[in-house]
Amino acid sequence: MSIHQDQVNQQAKSRLSEWQIDGIVNCHRAGIKENVICKTMNLSPSTVSTVIKRAGSKGTGLLRKRSGAPLKMDNRDQRRLARQLRSAPLLPMKNHLKLWCDADPSISMDTFRKYMKLIGSQSYKTVHKPALTPEHKLKRLSWCLDKVGWGQNSGERLFGPMSPNSWFSVMMVALG
């Protein structure tokens, strides 16, 4: 058998069932070599060796529950959070966190952000356009005055709402 055929015969990456894991462990304990188990069960050598190492001498080869703190939110809480985020998608994250902490035990911003990412929601920060400086206003005004039919009403679209006094002061500065 060539190397190419071995690679074709191996399974794509997928989780092993309990039955397959028990089969690998029992075959190894019966004295069957790893390479024979690989070819027989159509698995990669690394998968078989990982299961055997995990099983040790008396273990089962199944993943044990890891130690650590329990999750802050269960599935029900995550669904509720998703509903809250969908109800006001443009609300800042701090406000969402405050709404959440008013009803439930408080969690940190990092934990809240982690669950938002897990749900598939994202937060963004709005970027405000800076106000026009007087220099930029004059450049726009000089450009406007060159165009035909541009007056005060047309200029308001470029500079924003202007009172007659401010329009007069801009015109006086522009004309010299």
**pLDDT tens-digit readout, 35-80:** 999 998 888 999 898 888 888 766 766 666 767 888 888 889 999 9
Looking at residue 5, its pLDDT comes to 45
Looking at residue 3, its pLDDT comes to 47
C-alpha distances in angstroms, 132 versus 65, 127, 129, 141, 164? 59, 15, 9, 12, 19
- CATH class of the domain comprising 3-55: mainly alpha
pTM, 2 dp: 0.38
> What is d(CA 90, CA 123) in angstroms, rounded to the nearest whole number?
8
Q: Who wins on pLDDT, 13 or 48? A: 48
